[in-house]
Amino acid sequence: MSNLVDVHLDVLAPNAGQLNDIEKALQNPCDELIAWRAQRTGENPQEIAANIKEIVSFKPVRNLGYVDPSVNKARRFESSWKDKFSGLVWSHVHFVSRDFPTAVFLAQYWDDQMSYGGKRVFHSGDEIRSSRDGKHHAQAHEWVLPNIFAPFEAEHELGLECGTLWDYWIEDMQKEITELTEMYSSKSDMKPEQKGAVEDENQEPGEAE
């Protein structure tokens, strides 16, 4: 029995024209993928091409951001497949990423039945970052899945090179985890002046009396 894997794939492209080309590529698997699958299964590439296209195609859902569609550079796609085809579909994303090396592909996936999920970042034909949440405490509810997409989305918005902000994001996340630990996990062991200092740092503008 196979479970369904659902995916949101956000594509960040350098321009609207390339984004439209990527949309076509995500809906049409390359000959290399079909040949690879045929070699593994011993089937005729021409006979399985249509079936592979149906399995791996990503459907465009909406543009991301508030700019005019004619200049939009980010778009969300969706797909769903049986988990036994995961290798085939991820290989498809790899090939499209390889063919469009200036774009960034942000994929969030989940299997509600098996209660796991994760995030994967593809760039220039490689998976450059990933995070897996396999310890859901309640079925179909995320537990420890950090937003590893954040630095790449910021880079795209600011026109920075892919990977520029990663180390800064990691550093800030570590600080945030430390603050959460100090505020809540060990608060009962903190001295009054320590509690006050942490609370002041976490106060939003306008909250101070």
Rounded Cα distance between 138 and 144, Å, is: 12
Predicted confidence at residue 140, as pLDDT, reads 82
Residue 35 has pLDDT above 60, yes or no: yes
Residue 95 has pLDDT above 50, yes or no: yes
Share of the chain above pLDDT 90, in %: 76
pLDDT tens for each residue of 196-207: 555 555 454 444
Mean of pLDDT values over 54-74: 92
Q: Which helix (H) or strand (E) element contains residue 194?
A: helix 192-201
Rounded Cα distance between 54 and 43, Å, is: 17
Predicted confidence at residue 39, as pLDDT, reads 94
pLDDT tens for each residue of 70-79: 889 999 999 9
**Half-sphere exposure (Cβ direction) of 190: Cα atoms closer than 13 Å:** 16
Rounded Cα distance between 146 and 173, Å, is: 9
Give CATH for domain 4-140. Answer: 3.30.70.1270
Helix (H, G, I), strand (E, B) or coil at 23: helix
Mean of pLDDT values over 182-186: 79
Residue 62: both structure tokens together: 């909406």
Mean of pLDDT values over 114-122: 95
Mean of pLDDT values over 39-64: 95
Predicted confidence at residue 205, as pLDDT, reads 42
Residue 208 has pLDDT above 80, yes or no: no
**204 or 37, which is more confident:** 37
- Closest by CA to 155, choosing from 114, 97, 102, 209, is 102
Contact 108, 11 (CB under 8 A): no
* Vertex 34 angle, CA 31 and 35, to 5°: 85
Rounded Cα distance between 129 and 145, Å, is: 13
Backbone angles phi, psi at 67, to 5 degrees: -85, 165
Residue 174 has pLDDT above 60, yes or no: yes
Question: pLDDT grade, residue 2 (50/70/90)?
Answer: confident
Mean of the per-residue pLDDT values of the chain: 90
Question: pLDDT grade, residue 66 (50/70/90)?
Answer: confident
Contact 40, 52 (CB under 8 A): no
Predicted confidence at residue 139, as pLDDT, reads 84
Domain borders along the chain are 4-140
